[in-house]
Structure 1
Amino acid sequence: MKSESSFTGEELKKRSGIMSQPKAVWAVAFACVISFMGLGLVDPILPAIAEQLHASKSQVSLLFTSYNLVTGIAMLITGVVSSRIGVKWTLLSGIILIVAFSALGGASSTIGEIVGYRAGWGLGNALFIATALSAIVGFSTSGTAKAIILYEAALGLGISVGPLLGGELGSISWRGPFFGVSVLMLIGFLFILFVLPAVPKAKKRTSLADPFKALSYPSLLTLGIVAFLYNFGFFTLMAYSPYVMKLDEHGLGYVFFGWGILLAITSVFVAPKIQKRFNLVPSISWMLVLFALDLGVMALGTMNDSPKVVIVAVIVAGIFLGINNTLITTAVMQAAPVERSTASAAYSFVRFLGGAASPWLAGKLSEWYTAESPFLFGAIMVLLAVVVLVARGRHLRDIKIESH
C-alpha cells in the first residue's frame, strides 16, 4: 500500500471523501444553493402573475425565455471576464447583478418590465453559475466526479427549497419571491466575499472565440445538442406545469419541493452508482426515455383533467432529471481538452438556447392547440435527444468517468 506522501495530487483527490472539502468549495456551494433557489422560487407564482398582471401564459413564460436567452449568450463572455478579473470577483459581480435585477423585478408593475429585469438577472446568473462549477471542480480535493456531485447536490437543494420558500412568500404577494431572491443572494455575496480566499487570475486570458473552438470537439457538441433538446422537456415542466396542477402558491411550492428533493437525492446517491456500473450513453439514454414517458403521463393527466396525475408525474420527474444532470455535467467536464470553465460555457450556451425557446413555445402551444400539447411536444424533443445521443454515441466513447 502506498504511503500518503507517495500519492500524486490527482490520486489524493480521488481518495478524498466528497465531504472532505476546503472552505472555498463550501463557500461556493452555499452560494450555489441560494442561486438555484432563485430558479424555482418563481414557479409557484406564475399563475398569480398571469392573473394579477392580466398576462397570457406565453407572456408570463417570457420570464424564463429572457432569463435563459441572456444566460446562454452571456456564457460566451464568462471565460473572458473571469480570466481578467479572477474567479472571486466574477462570482461577486454575478451575484450583485442578481441582487439588483431581482429586486427591480419585484418592484415592477408590468409583465414587460419583469421580463426585461429577468434578462439582467440572466446576465448575473451566467457569470455566477459557469464560474461556480469550474471553481468547485478546481478547488475540490476529491476529484472531478465527486465535485460535480456536490455541485448537483447544491443545485437540487436550491431547486427544492426555492419553490417552498417561493410558495410561502408568494402567498403574501407575487412580489415576495423576487425580493426574497435579492436578500438571499446578498447573503451569498457576503459569504463569498469573506470566506472565499483570493484566487490568482488565470495565466492565460480566454478569448471570445474559445467557447466556439471548444464546440468543434464532437463529444462536447454532442452533449450540448442533447441538452438543448432535453431542455424543451425540462422547461416545459418548470414553466408550464404550474398552470395545469390547479394548486395555489402553497400547493405548487410543495410539489416542486418534492420534485427538487428527489432530484437532489438521485443526483448525489443514485447517479454515482449508475456511473460506476453502466456505460455513459446507455445510462443517459434510459433516463431521457423515462423522462419522455413521464411527460407523456403529464399530457394524459392534463387531457383527462386529472391534476393529481400531473402532480405525481412532476414529482417523479425529479428522479430522472437528477440522475441525468449529474451524468451529463460530469461528462461535459471531460469531453474536450480545454479549460473546464470554457467547456462549461460552450455547453451551457447551447443548452440554454433550448431553455429560452421552450417556455414561450409551451405557452403558445397551449393557446394554439390543446392544454396537453406542450407536454407532448416536450416528450418528442426529449426522445429526439436520445436519437442524437445514440447516433453520435461514438464521440463519447473516450470519456472516462471516474470510479467512486
Structure 2
Amino acid sequence: MNTPPRTATVVFIFITVVLDVLALGVVIPVLPKLIEAFLDGNTARAAEINGGFSTAWALMQFIFSPLLGAVSDRYGRRPVILISCLGLGLDYLLMAMAPTLAWLFIGRVISGITAASFSTAGAYIADVTPPDKRAGAFGMIGAAWGLGFVIGPAVGGLLGGIEPRLPFWVAGALALANFTYGLFVLPESLPRERRSASFSWKRANPLGALTLLRSHRELFGLAGVNALYWFAHYALPSTFVLYTSHRYGWGAQTVGLTLAAVGICNVLVQAVLVRRVVPLIGERRALLLGLAAGAGGFALYGLAPSGIWFWAGLPVFALMGFFGPALQALMSRHVSPQEQGQLQGANSSASALVGLLAPGTFSVVFAWSIDPAVGWHMPGASMLLAAAVTVLALALGARVTRREAASA
C-alpha cells in the first residue's frame, strides 16, 4: 500500500534537486571558457559553439523527459532517479577529463539526458503528497532550483579560478554522493498496483506525451498557460546581462549580486510563502497572483530608468514563484497515479520546446531595440514583450480555471 506523505522522502527529493541543480550551476561560469580554451582563445567561435551546446541540451530535455516519465510510470520512480543521478555524476567526470571539444559535446548531450530526471522528481512528489498539499511540496522543489542556481554559479566561479576543470570534478562528486545517499535512503513511491500495465513508446515520445495534455480541456489550457509562462521567462537568461550592462552599466560583480538576490527572493517565496498562502487563497488565485506579479515585474524591469528601480522590481517579480507550484498542483489533479510521470515529462518536454524558440526571439528584439539604424531607442523592449506574454498567460489562466473557481 502507498503510505501517507513522508517528510524524509520529500526532503530527499529536495536534496536531490538541490544537488543536481547545484551540479548544473557549478559548470555554468566555466563551460564557455573551457570551450574557448579548446579553440585557442577564439571568443566569437566559442560563443557560437556554446549556444549549440545549450540547444543540444534543451533538445535532449525535449526528447528524454517524457521517456523517463513514462519509464517511471511503468517501473517506478526510484530506479529512474537513482540511475539518472549515477549517470549525471559519471558524465561530469567524463567532461572533466574530456580531451577534445567533441568529447565535451558528448558529455553535454548526456547531461541533458540525465537531467531529464527532474520530471520524475515531480512525479515522486505527486505520489507521496495528497492533492491539497501538493502546491507546498512543489514549492519546495522550486525553492531547490533557486537554491541550486544561487550557490552553483558562485561556487563554480570560485573553483574555476583555481582550475578550469575543477568545477566538473566537484559536480561529478556531488551527483555521485547523491546517488550513494539515495541508494540507502530513497524508498519507492509508486507501488506495483498503481503502475502502468505496460510501457508504450507511443506515450513515451515527445509528441505522444503531449497528447496527454489534450485529454482534458482544462489540462490542455493549463499547458498553454505554462508554455506562455516559459516563453516569457526566457527573456531573462537571453538578454538580462546585455540589457543591464547596456542600460545601467553593470559589471560582472553587480550582475552576480543581482542574480543572487533573485535566487534568494525566489527561495523565500517558494519555500516559505507558498506553503502558507496557497491553502488560504486556493491554487487558482495563487496561479493568477503569480502571473500578475510576473507581468508587473517584467514591466518594472523594462521601464526602470536606473538600476535602483530595477532592483525595486525584484520582490514583485519574486511573487511569480506562486505560479509553478499552483500550476503543478492543478494539473496533477487531472491525471491518474500511473500518469503522473508522463504528465511531468510532457511539461518538461513542452518547456524545452519553448526553450528552442524563445531565446532567439528575445535576443532579436533586444538587438532591434538598441540598433541606431532603427531610430527608436527602447532597450527594455524585450522585458516589455515578456510582460505582454505574461498578461496573455494571465488571461488564459483565468479563463481555463473558471470551472475550478465555480466548484470552489
Question: What residue number does 1:354 align with?
Answer: 354
For residue 131 of structure 1, the aligned residue among 117, 120, 123 is 120
| Alpha-carbon distance between aligned partners in 1 of 2:96 and 2:378, rounded to the nearest angstrom | 31
For residue 189 of structure 1, the aligned residue among 173, 179, 194 is 179
Query: How far 1:153 moved relative to its partner?
Result: 2.9
Partner letter of residue 205 of structure 1? S
| Alpha-carbon distance between aligned partners in 2 of 1:320 and 1:274, rounded to the nearest angstrom | 11
- Pair 365,169 (structure 1): closer, same or farther in 2 beyond 3 Å: farther
Question: What residue number does 1:343 align with?
Answer: 343
CA displacement 1:137-172 (0-9 Å, x = unmatched):
323479433332332332232232223323322443
Query: How far 1:380 moved relative to its partner?
Result: 2.1
> Which residues of structure 1 form unaligned runs of 5+?
1-8, 14-19
**Is the CA contact (8 Å cut-off) linking 2:58 and 2:355 kept in structure 1?**
yes
Q: Would you say 1:31 and 2:16 are equivalent positions?
A: yes
Q: Would you say 1:153 and 2:146 are equivalent positions?
A: no
Partner letter of residue 318 of structure 2? I
For residue 213 of structure 2, the aligned residue among 205, 215, 218 is 215
| Alpha-carbon distance between aligned partners in 2 of 1:209 and 1:382, rounded to the nearest angstrom | 36
| Alpha-carbon distance between aligned partners in 2 of 1:223 and 1:322, rounded to the nearest angstrom | 16
Query: How far 1:237 moved relative to its partner?
Result: 1.6
Query: How far 1:377 moved relative to its partner?
Result: 3.3
Q: Would you say 1:257 and 2:242 are equivalent positions?
A: no
| Alpha-carbon distance between aligned partners in 2 of 1:180 and 1:318, rounded to the nearest angstrom | 32
The percentage of aligned residue pairs carrying the same residue is 22
> Residues 58-73 of structure 1: matches in 2 within 5 Å?
59-73=49-63
CA displacement 1:75-105 (0-9 Å, x = unmatched):
2212332244432211122223322333444
| Alpha-carbon distance between aligned partners in 1 of 2:302 and 2:159, rounded to the nearest angstrom | 29
> Residues 370-385 of structure 1: matches in 2 within 5 Å?
370=370, 376-377=381-382, 379-385=384-390
- Pair 336,203 (structure 1): closer, same or farther in 2 beyond 3 Å: closer
Q: C-alpha root-mean-square deviation of aligned residues, in Å?
A: 3.9
Q: Would you say 1:204 and 2:189 are equivalent positions?
A: no
For residue 386 of structure 1, the aligned residue among 383, 386, 391 is 391
Partner letter of residue 272 of structure 2? F
Query: How far 1:124 moved relative to its partner?
Result: 0.6
- Pair 149,230 (structure 1): closer, same or farther in 2 beyond 3 Å: closer
- Of residues 232-241 and 49-58 in structure 1, the stretch that sits farther from structure 2 once superposed is 49-58
- Pair 61,289 (structure 1): closer, same or farther in 2 beyond 3 Å: farther
- Pair 332,168 (structure 1): closer, same or farther in 2 beyond 3 Å: farther
| Alpha-carbon distance between aligned partners in 1 of 2:74 and 2:379, rounded to the nearest angstrom | 42
Q: Would you say 1:54 and 2:43 are equivalent positions?
A: yes
> Residues 4-403 of structure 1: matches in 2 within 5 Å?
21-45=6-30, 54-55=43-44, 59-107=49-97, 117-126=107-116, 128-140=117-129, 143-197=133-187, 200-201=191-192, 202=195, 204-210=197-203, 211-216=209-214, 217-243=216-242, 244-245=244-245, 246-248=250-252, 252-278=255-281, 280-281=283-284, 283-300=286-303, 312=311, 315-316=314-315, 319-337=318-336, 339-366=339-366, 370=370, 376-377=381-382, 379-391=384-396, 393-399=398-404
**Is the CA contact (8 Å cut-off) linking 2:293 and 2:320 kept in structure 1?**
no
CA displacement 1:19-43 (0-9 Å, x = unmatched):
x834333222211111122444355
- Pair 346,375 (structure 1): closer, same or farther in 2 beyond 3 Å: farther
> Which residues of structure 2 form unaligned runs of 5+?
204-208, 372-376
| Alpha-carbon distance between aligned partners in 2 of 1:359 and 1:335, rounded to the nearest angstrom | 31
- Pair 315,161 (structure 1): closer, same or farther in 2 beyond 3 Å: farther
SS in 2 for 1:197: coil
SS in 2 for 1:155: helix
Query: How far 1:268 moved relative to its partner?
Result: 2.4
**Is the CA contact (8 Å cut-off) linking 2:123 and 2:344 kept in structure 1?**
yes
Q: TM-score, normalised by structure 1?
A: 0.77
| Alpha-carbon distance between aligned partners in 2 of 1:392 and 1:252, rounded to the nearest angstrom | 32
Query: How far 1:382 moved relative to its partner?
Result: 4.8
- Pair 111,370 (structure 1): closer, same or farther in 2 beyond 3 Å: farther
Question: What residue number does 2:374 align with?
Answer: none
- Pair 266,228 (structure 1): closer, same or farther in 2 beyond 3 Å: same
- Pair 319,369 (structure 1): closer, same or farther in 2 beyond 3 Å: closer
**Is the CA contact (8 Å cut-off) linking 2:228 and 2:393 kept in structure 1?**
no
Q: TM-score, normalised by structure 2?
A: 0.77
- Pair 389,295 (structure 1): closer, same or farther in 2 beyond 3 Å: closer
SS in 1 for 2:381: helix
What is the number of residues matched between the two proteins? 382
| Alpha-carbon distance between aligned partners in 2 of 1:365 and 1:115, rounded to the nearest angstrom | 29
| Alpha-carbon distance between aligned partners in 2 of 1:242 and 1:207, rounded to the nearest angstrom | 43
- Pair 291,70 (structure 1): closer, same or farther in 2 beyond 3 Å: same
**Is the CA contact (8 Å cut-off) linking 1:332 and 1:347 kept in structure 2?**
no
Partner letter of residue 295 of structure 1? F
| Alpha-carbon distance between aligned partners in 1 of 2:236 and 2:35, rounded to the nearest angstrom | 17
- Of residues 239-248 and 49-58 in structure 1, the stretch that sits farther from structure 2 once superposed is 49-58
SS in 1 for 2:370: coil
